[in-house]
Amino acid sequence: MEKLLEVKELCKYFSKGGQTIRAVDGVSFELNKGETLGLVGESGCGKSTTGRLILNLIEPTFGEVLFEGKPVVNLKRPEELAFRRRAQMIFQDCFASLSPRVRAGDAVVQILKIHGIGKDKKERWEIARQFFEEVTLSEEQMKRYPHEFSGGQRQRIGIAKALCLNPDLIVCDEPVSALDVSVQAQIINTMKDIQKKFGIAYIFISHDLGVVKHISDRVACMYLGRLVEIAEKDDFYDNPLHPYSIALLSAIPDMDPQRKKKKFFIPSEVNLKQYEDGCRFCQRCWKAQEICREKTPELVEVYPGHKVACHFVEKK
Amino acid sequence: MEDKNIVLEVEHLKTSFFYGKKEGKAVDDISFKVKKGEILGIVGESGSGKSVTAMSVMKLLGNTKGRVVGGSINFMGRDLLAVSDKEMRQIRGKHIAMVFQEPMTSLNPVLTVGEQIAETIVVHEKVSKKEALARAKELLDTVQIPLAEKRLGEYPHELSGGMRQRVMIAMGLCCNPDLIIADEPTTALDVTIQMQILELFKKLREQYELSIILITHDMGVIAEMTDRVMVMYAGCMAEYGDTATILKNPRHPYTKALMKAIPRLDEKQEYLDAIPGVIPSIFNLPEGCRFHPRCRLATERCRKERPDAFTVDGRTVCCFKAFEEVKESL
Amino acid sequence: MFKNIIHNKMTVVGFSIVIVIVAIGILSPFIITADPMEMDLYNVAAPASDEHIWGTDELGRDIFSRVISGARTSLVIAIVVVGIGTVLGTLIGAVSGYLGGLTDSLLMKVMDILMAFPTILLALFFVTIFDPGLYSAIIGVGLSSVPRFARLVRGSVMSIKEKEYVEAQRSAGERKISILFRHILPNCIGPIIVQATLTMGNSIITVAGLGFLGLGVDPGVPEWGAMLSDARSYLASKPAICIYPGAAIALAVLGFNLLGDGLRDALDVRQE
């Protein structure tokens, strides 16, 4: 497997009212070509910020992102353009991510123009049409404005926009969270088809563990800016090791009422000020002991492909 | 008498929205009952009319362009459509409480939690401010807010999302209501917090024999929480009955399709069974069965006639095809 | 877009008013019935007659001819003032709002200082450093309207630049400057147009005020604002002298406002 992306000790600190908020704090992982990494966690865990850092939409405080071995920060214009061409993004709010005054087809044509693809408007339109076909939108629909589409169709435009440069990586930030279940399934299927056809790697950011399970090859779980667990999909869902992952998975309402799972209640009160040292999860963790409050657990490989950051998970 | 057990009975409720001459049938012929101590789930996608149903029962459509155009709403022997606004205000809060999705917008940001709860108590009961505050503390204990005493003096923005939702529930409980209508109460919350709030609802139901109408789009929540469920689609009832029966063996094509479209944690699926097309707008509803344009089983009849409800093994279904299937199996 | 303008009745009214005023401005030499500058001191403040259909003013000049000739001057004033304000204000506001940081603070401080002076004072300042005359007055009033536009545009740009579609364009690799002009500014057009139409009316009156101080239009030159200020002292005894130029200003402002409202709606593709 060829390595596409490497994230090393990525940190992003914001200052708010004199306090430093560590939105992302030392996140490291790798992504292979054509692979899907699901990035899960609850609101405020820093998963969206991580996605934006990877695409250099915001600059990291520390750490680096390597795309095919080359850093993505501080690129000169031609290199930046080359990077943007290969790494794209799909946004959660498909309405907000489309310019309200730009017709759907023109949105794609504009992107093609920025990257100098196609000789003239006509040729670009033709290229755009092919990508719209890929996401099952018609040429007639390309002439419409974003507000004339339904939520699912808008997300299709978002996919066409990301797809039109033939990227190797698409960061998807909660791409289906705003959609209804029936439409969500359509979009997920489309995304899977496209991945198969074009060999794109996805970083799929979502709070919905069901959706992530469905689309991912590997899953990374974040809690308050830190990566707590990263594993192959089946490993993560069948054998979660970090207490937070366990609690998170147990909290999902089960469709099968007959099956009774063990539920792990974790208290909701967290004092954010205290998390400088130690495990971020220790205030809510039922396993927490003195060491958790004093020492930050490292992300260690418990067995090949499964890394956990917890003092109480032993290496096998 | 069975009737004594029924807290709320809604029959053939129709609510429409009017924009100029256009009529949008947001709720079209919905009937359901809520028994004492029961949790009824209303599930559907956006635009299915589940929230409008709740607003119609609470008579909170006043500020919108919607109004109830038919049917009856019977709450503990009183016809809610006939009571005056003044009486309705009494009923709201005292007998029926509502919990909304976004607790931050339902709480007044410049009043402390204690003041807000106490105010609600004072409005409905003749007690002093001091007594009301004492009650408020008890209520915060009931909804399992730690350090209740301290929380009384805090403002809504100082609380986390889950805590705010607990405060909302506490406000709903302050006059010992008979029915709580919770409209997507956990949609804005993280799953670990959602679980706690849902457990709280279950506990309250047992403690006070509360009836709860739980509106959600999440089939998982329906499965874990409710005794009976009504599946809604485009303002109509698709299937209504015992939750376990419906989830185990859905009859209506929409219920079936919806359950297949959800990515499951317990199964391996290569592709999700997506429902083609989109939910229709209430101003542009299809003829006949509302689901027919998206239904794989639709026939000529489905395009023309609206299916009547029929009852089979303890649930009501509105579908011609399902009716035929049941007839054949007999 | 044109269909949208026609669709709204009030816009049509506004549009017609503006067209008529512009036409009058262009064709004024052919419409007037007397020389607007010619005084007839034997016939001061005469009521309407066959010879002077709206009567004469305090110096015996034909009011009808003066109002008609005034259209040209007043229109030029209004358009130039608004032109200066819109172009400069939008540029400064856009740069300030989009770049933020130090640039923003500096530009906004300058704008605040400008805003601290009343329009008239600022215009006076320009008139005194340059030649006293109509054009320095117009430039002065125009410049003093810049801060309002700049503030407005800055606010809109700042809110729009946080929108996800701007981030989406960034992730698509578009240059910052191109994002500003193609995706941010077109979405600020609504408030700019409203501000522009409001400024039109005000600027006519402000320039008239300068004329009153002897710093705007040369005395005697027909201009609505100046006519109005000259005739103020006759308001009680001979109201007709004030009414006509006043009505002309009111009508022009109304026309531009209605047209502005309509344009804003027509330019908004989101409207059904």
pLDDT (0 to 100) of residue C3: 57
The DSSP bridge pattern shows strands B96-99 and B179-183 to be parallel
The band of B1, judged by pLDDT with boundaries at 50, 70 and 90, is: very low
ipTM of the complex: 0.83
- Check pLDDT > 80 for residue C131: no
Is C167 in Cβ contact with A57 (below 8 Å)?
A: yes
Task: Report the alpha-carbon distance of residue B19 to residue A80 in Å, rounded.
Answer: 50
Region B248-252 average pLDDT: 91
Structure confidence by residue, pLDDT tens digits, B45-93: 888 899 999 999 988 887 778 889 999 999 988 899 988 888 888 888 7
DSSP strands (E only) in A149-257: 169-173, 201-206, 218-223, 226-232
List all residues 6 or more positions away from C224 whose beta carbon is below 8 Å from its beta carbon.
Answer: C67, C70, C71, C73, C74, C204, C208, C245, C248, C249, C252
Q: Look over chain B and give the mean of its residue pLDDT values, rounded to a whole number.
A: 88
CA B101 to chain CA mean position, Å: 11
Structure confidence by residue, pLDDT tens digits, B228-249: 999 999 999 999 999 999 998 9
Task: Report the alpha-carbon distance of residue C183 to residue B168 in Å, rounded.
Answer: 41
Is A180 in Cβ contact with B279 (below 8 Å)?
A: yes
Task: Report the alpha-carbon distance of residue C150 to residue C152 in Å, rounded.
Answer: 5
Structure confidence by residue, pLDDT tens digits, A179-228: 888 888 999 999 999 999 999 999 999 999 999 999 999 999 999 889 99
Q: Which H or E run contains A25?
A: strand A19-32
Structure confidence by residue, pLDDT tens digits, A112-142: 998 988 889 999 999 999 999 988 899 899 9
Closest CB to A213: pick one of B190, B244, B265: B265
Structure confidence by residue, pLDDT tens digits, A6-36: 999 999 998 877 778 888 989 999 999 999 9
Instruction: State the alpha helices, DSSP H only, in A266-309.
Output: 290-294
C-alpha closest to that of C269 among C189, C166, C161? C189
Is A102 in Cβ contact with C183 (below 8 Å)?
A: yes
Q: Enumerate the residues of chain B whose CB falls inside 8 A of the CB of residue A249.
A: 265
Is A88 in Cβ contact with C171 (below 8 Å)?
A: yes
Q: Any idea what DSSP says for residue A310?
A: -
Task: Report the alpha-carbon distance of residue C229 to residue C224 in Å, rounded.
Answer: 9
A2 touches chain B (CB under 8 A): no
Superfamily of domain C2-267: MetI-like (1.10.3720.10)
User: Which of A141, A174, A182, A249 should be substituted to probe chain B, the one whose Cβ sees the most B Cβ atoms within 10 Å?
Assistant: A182
pLDDT (0 to 100) of residue C2: 56
Is B160 in Cβ contact with A269 (below 8 Å)?
A: yes
Q: Which fold has domain A3-308?
A: Rossmann fold (3.40.50)
Structure confidence by residue, pLDDT tens digits, A55-100: 998 889 999 999 999 998 888 888 889 999 999 999 887 667 788 8
Identify the closest residue of chain B to A185 by CA–CA distance.
Answer: B274
Closest CB to A268: pick one of B162, B265, B272: B162
A60 touches chain B (CB under 8 A): no
Closest CB to A263: pick one of B195, B261, B266: B195
Q: Look over chain C and give the mean of its residue pLDDT values, rounded to a whole number.
A: 82
The DSSP bridge pattern shows strands A70-71 and A62-67 to be antiparallel
Paired tokens of C19: 């067209």
The single residue listed with the structure tokens 């089939």 is B219
Hey, is B66 helix, strand or coil?
strand
The alpha-carbon gap from A49 to the nearest alpha carbon of chain C, in Å, equals 13
Q: Enumerate the residues of chain A whose CB falls inside 8 A of the CB of residue B217.
A: 180-181
Is C186 in Cβ contact with A91 (below 8 Å)?
A: no
Is B196 in Cβ contact with A265 (below 8 Å)?
A: yes
Task: Report the alpha-carbon distance of residue B124 to residue B92 in Å, rounded.
Answer: 10
Cross-strand pairs, B14 = B28, B70
pLDDT (0 to 100) of residue C12: 86
Q: What is the CATH number of domain B2-95+177-329?
A: 3.40.50.300
Higher pLDDT, C226 or B318: B318
3-state helix, strand, coil in chain A (%, to 5): 35, 25, 40
List all residues 6 or more positions away from B278 whose beta carbon is below 8 Å from its beta carbon.
Answer: A150, A152, A153, A183
Q: Look over chain A and give the mean of its residue pLDDT values, rounded to a whole number.
A: 88
Identify the closest residue of chain B to A209 by CA–CA distance.
Answer: B265
Task: Report the alpha-carbon distance of residue B58 to residue B53 in Å, rounded.
Answer: 9
pLDDT (0 to 100) of residue B3: 64
Task: Report the alpha-carbon distance of residue B78 to residue C234 in Å, rounded.
Answer: 73
Domain residue extents for chain C: 2-267
A268 touches chain B (CB under 8 A): yes
B223 touches chain A (CB under 8 A): yes
B261 touches chain A (CB under 8 A): yes
Closest CB to B221: pick one of A182, A250, A253: A253
Is C186 in Cβ contact with A111 (below 8 Å)?
A: no
A259-263, A293-297, B135-139: segment of lowest average pLDDT? A259-263
Domain residue extents for chain A: 3-308
The band of C272, judged by pLDDT with boundaries at 50, 70 and 90, is: very low
C-alpha closest to that of B222 among B255, B177, B253? B255
Task: Report the alpha-carbon distance of residue A237 to residue A221 in Å, rounded.
Answer: 11
Paired tokens of A115: 């990257």
B275 touches chain A (CB under 8 A): yes
Higher pLDDT, B270 or A57: A57
Structure confidence by residue, pLDDT tens digits, C87-98: 999 999 999 998
A256 φ/ψ sector (left φ>0, alpha ψ -120 to 50, else beta): beta
Task: Report the alpha-carbon distance of residue B124 to residue B89 in Å, rounded.
Answer: 10
Q: Any idea what DSSP says for residue A286?
A: S
Percent of chain C with pLDDT over 70: 92
| Chains contacting C (3 or more CB pairs within 8 Å) | A
The band of B174, judged by pLDDT with boundaries at 50, 70 and 90, is: confident
Closest CB to A115: pick one of C169, C173, C270: C173
Size of interface A-B (CB pairs under 8 A): 120
Is B195 in Cβ contact with A257 (below 8 Å)?
A: no
Task: Report the alpha-carbon distance of residue A164 to residue A149 in Å, rounded.
Answer: 20
